[in-house]
Structure 1
Amino acid sequence: MSFPKTGSKIQVQSYKHNGLIHRTWEETVVLKGTSKVVIGGNDKILVREADGRNWRTREPAICYFDAEHWFNSIGMIRSDGIYYYCNLGSPFIWDDEALKYIDYDLDIKVFPDMTFKLLDEDEFSLHKKQMNYPKEIENIVQNSVDELISWIHQRKGPFAPHFVEMWYERFLQYRL
């Protein structure tokens, strides 16, 4: 299986458990692409929602996708620091069309001081019933919340000091 090549532009697609597309991000630049991790960068890109709405991201971001963990993160570079938006979702797959994952509703927003807030618990409860999440998926997602919080506390992976800054410098090389 091939993986996205460094410097190439890819689309990122999130789906819901029922198989329907949820959201699409256009033109993320691949900064690292392996069978285990994809790190990408983007800035002011178009995002398409399943309901037809379109919007643009407001700031540069470094995205981290993992093939072994049930979460991904977006480190957003703002004037007052780096904010992270973390999606609880399936490990990514790459199928030569796009990087894809299933979004399982829960999100964690991390602030520049590394405090955080768990979001969308009501959406998770609703979709769990509507889409009939298997108990195994529910348990994996709940355990992944704990794992993600542990990574935040440990400043591990995309939360490591200077991770976003280092990858952003690399992203800038592709924007010239």
Structure 2
Amino acid sequence: MESYRHCVIKSFKHNGHIHRIWQQNWLVPDDLLAPEHKAESMTVLINRQTPIQESDGKTWISRVPAVSFFIPGEWFNVVALLEEGGIRYYCNVASPPYLQGGVLTYIDYDLDVIRTPDGGRFVVDQDEYEMHKAAYHYPKMVDDKVREGLEALLARIDRGLSPFRDGDAARYYEEWLKRGGGEEN
């Protein structure tokens, strides 16, 4: 049986500058992935009270446990926030992930989708996307991929497709806790 491995998540902006760094995450071993997630070669990471460094260097500690899902080739990623009132999904429209060693990177393209515990969904930060699109001169290919990523993400949410299944996120987190929850696993 494989063990959980430490992983850092680094989010960049299109201009190459750091956007945000999640410093303590744990990679779910392949043998613990749900078959559906394994079939898509998902990278699943867990964190709880992780230090998060912002672009200005300020660091804060997350308050809510999270299970993050990264799918190769997809222009979005999904963070399941395990809140007291239920699981809220915070989804980033972003470049496909790149995992090398213990570091996962992606480019954040501002557009976000929030899926609430009651099933509502909201697209947010469209103004920020348009502002950065102009400031960073996104090529048409990037703009097209961002739009396609948003559409694919909304379709998954609307159809209740993986990873938008509360039981999966809860199971990953509970299994991680049983195995030491961030201690030397």
TM-score by length of structure 2 reads 0.87
Mapped pair 1:95 → 2:100:
yes
SS in 2 for 1:162: helix
Mapped pair 1:25 → 2:31:
no
Return the offset for 1:36.
3.1
1:155 to 142, 160, 184: 160
Mapped pair 1:170 → 2:175:
yes
Return the offset for 1:6.
4.5
Where does 1:119-134 land on structure 2 (aligned, <5 Å)?
Answer: 119-134=124-139
Deviations 1:125-164 (A, max 9, x none): 0100111101111111112111101111111111024111
1:10 to 7, 10, 15: 7
Aligned AA (1:25): W
CA distance in 2, matches of 1:57, 1:23: 12
Distance 1:95 1:113, change over 3 A: same
Return the offset for 1:167.
1.1
SS in 2 for 1:138: helix
The aligned residue for residue 60 of structure 1 is 65
CA distance in 2, matches of 1:78, 1:122: 27
Aligned length: 172
CA distance in 2, matches of 1:167, 1:7: 11
Deviates more, 1:76-85 or 1:158-167: 158-167
Distance 1:6 1:156, change over 3 A: farther
Gaps of 5+ in 1: none
SS in 2 for 1:143: helix
The aligned residue for residue 70 of structure 1 is 75
Identity of aligned residues (%): 32
CA distance in 2, matches of 1:92, 1:114: 26
TM-score by length of structure 1 reads 0.92
Deviations 1:17-39 (A, max 9, x none): 11111100011011145893210
